[in-house]
Amino acid sequence: MIHVRRTRHERERLLVIGAGMAGVKLVEEITGLCPGRFAITIVGAEARAAYNRVLLSGVLAGDVAEHDIDLNPPEWFRDNRIELLTGAICTALRPAEGEVVLSNGAHLAYDRLVLATGSSAMRLPIPGHDLPGVLTFRDLDDVAAMRAAAPGTSVAVIGGGLLGIEAACGLARRGCKVVLIHLMPRLMERQLDQRAGALVEAAIRARGIDVILEAQTSAIEGDGRAERILLKDGRSLPADLVVMAAGIKPRTEVARSGGLEIGRGIKVDDRLETSRPGIYAIGECAEHRGVCCGLVEPAYEQARALARRLAGLAASYEGSLTATSLKVSGVPVFSAGDFEGEGAEPVLIEDAEAGIYRKLVIRDGRLTGAVLVGDTADAAWYRELITNGSAVAAIRGALAFGKVYAEAA
């Protein structure tokens, strides 16, 4: 075996497994902080270059073109001397040899390795889950299959979280007959309180989407492809297309093959380093302090922190504030922090006719959580107050009316 020793003038080899939003953000940050320091290779499993998954719902609805969701044009990678390998699946990690193995048999050596393998969409383990016509909502192939559904197609979307709602609304806009089935008593229970969830449900129903809560799917049936779904309570619903949006699972297969410590995700410390020195993990595949993030902003915060460390600068990641800011069925929604606020003081404002709802949670004189529906203009300000732990006693009476009013009070 021939061993090649790098000269001291040769660049360090930085290998990033995962060409999604977290992996590309990391590389963008590194090229800005220390251009030319690393010889960078990015390996992506999908056949096309990295794209913005957040905008998949826009592609489904027809509001965004596919080419508009690309993160960077091919020339960006070329100009920054970054090798991008698409359609390449990493099948094994060999830390002792300092290399990974790809599905095409190639061996890639590294000095520093970053795992940004993301997550996979969960398929419910029920009869019929693998029938033709049963999809997940994870990538452009899923979107293409949904866009092929003709107007009038009966569609069942399983899962009333953000992805399920976006899939249901996108398909309804395409003229499909959509039913949204959710196991929990309210939609988006991880991001919204009961009242906010009810307002979002009303907005969805106004689009002609049927919503069934506290319902469990027991089977998918059909002669060769999906035709109907069965609920645990005995109901049968027509479904020529079924979209499972019932959660995601961190992709840990590569890390596991290399003997890295795994919990729900790939375990990392505040340096975002795994149990093996020189190997890091960020994004949906990583587990930090027992938490796996499923949102873009925490993944970007991890990417920024790791980029600084790799550039030789002081940085650590201590976790992210859980916050969501989006439009659900055309309705602006924001939530952050401990919005349930058990045992704390809630401040509530609602204008039912205008569809505006605000809930602020105050604990020990500080804002610790917020939910906004219909008007999210002050979302960034509330988030800043929560993140900084700012005292709000002096503006307590004006807090719910927003930043401008509170500052003028």
With helix as H, strand as E and coil as C, how does the chain read? Answer: CCCCCCCCCCCEEEEEECCCHHHHHHHHHHHHHCCCCEEEEEECCCCCCCECHHHHHHHHHCCCCHHHHECCCHHHHHHCCEEEECCCCEEEEECCCCEEEECCCCEEECCEEEECCCEEECCCCCCCCCCCCEEECCCHHHHHHHHCCCCCCEEEEECCCHHHHHHHHHHHHCCCEEEEECCCCCCCCCCCCHHHHHHHHHHHHCCCCEEECCCCEEEEECCCCCCEEEECCCCEEECCEEEECCCEEECCHHHHHCCCCECCCEEECCCCECCCCCEEECHHHEEECCEECCCHHHHHHHHHHHHHHHCCCCCCCCCCCCEEEEEECCEEEEEEECCCCCCCEEEEEEECCCCEEEEEEEECCEEEEEEEECCCCCHHHHHHHHHHCCECHHHCCCHHHCHHHHHHC
**The dihedral of CA 18, 19, 25, 29: what is its sign?**
positive
Instruction: Report the alpha-carbon distance of residue 307 to residue 28 in Å, rounded.
Output: 9
Q: What is the pLDDT along the chain (409 residues), one digit of tens a residue?
A: 333 344 444 789 999 999 999 999 999 999 999 999 999 999 999 988 789 998 998 899 888 999 899 999 989 999 999 999 999 999 999 999 999 999 999 999 999 999 999 999 999 999 999 999 999 999 999 999 999 999 999 999 999 998 999 999 999 999 999 999 999 999 999 999 999 999 999 999 999 999 999 999 999 999 999 999 999 999 999 999 999 999 999 999 999 999 999 999 999 999 999 999 999 999 999 999 999 998 899 999 999 999 999 999 999 999 998 888 888 778 899 999 999 988 889 999 999 888 899 999 999 999 999 999 999 999 999 999 999 999 999 999 999 999 998 888 7
Residue/partner pairs of 103-109 with CB below 8 Å, 24 or more apart: 108/15, 108/41, 108/43, 109/13, 109/15
What CA–CA distances, in Å, run from 199 to 19, 172, 193, 205?
37, 19, 10, 10
Distance CA 369, CA 31 (A): 36
Topology (CATH) of 12-120+248-310: FAD/NAD(P)-binding domain (3.50.50)
CB 277, CB 110: distance < 8 Å: no
Cβ partners under 8 Å of residue 361, min gap 6: 337, 338, 339, 340, 341, 344, 345, 346, 347, 367, 368, 369, 370
* Residue ranges of domains in the chain: 12-120+248-310, 134-244, 323-408
**Burial class of residue 189, CB neighbours in 10 A (0-12, 13-18, 19+):** middle
What's the pTM?
Answer: 0.91
Please give the CATH topology (third level) of the domain spanning 323-408. Enolase-like; domain 1 (3.30.390)
Closest CA to 157 of 148, 141, 169, 149: 169
Q: What is the CATH number of domain 134-244?
A: 3.50.50.60
Measured in degrees and rounded to the nearest 5, phi and psi for residue 260 equal -75, 155
Domain 12-120+248-310 and domain 134-244 have a common topology: yes
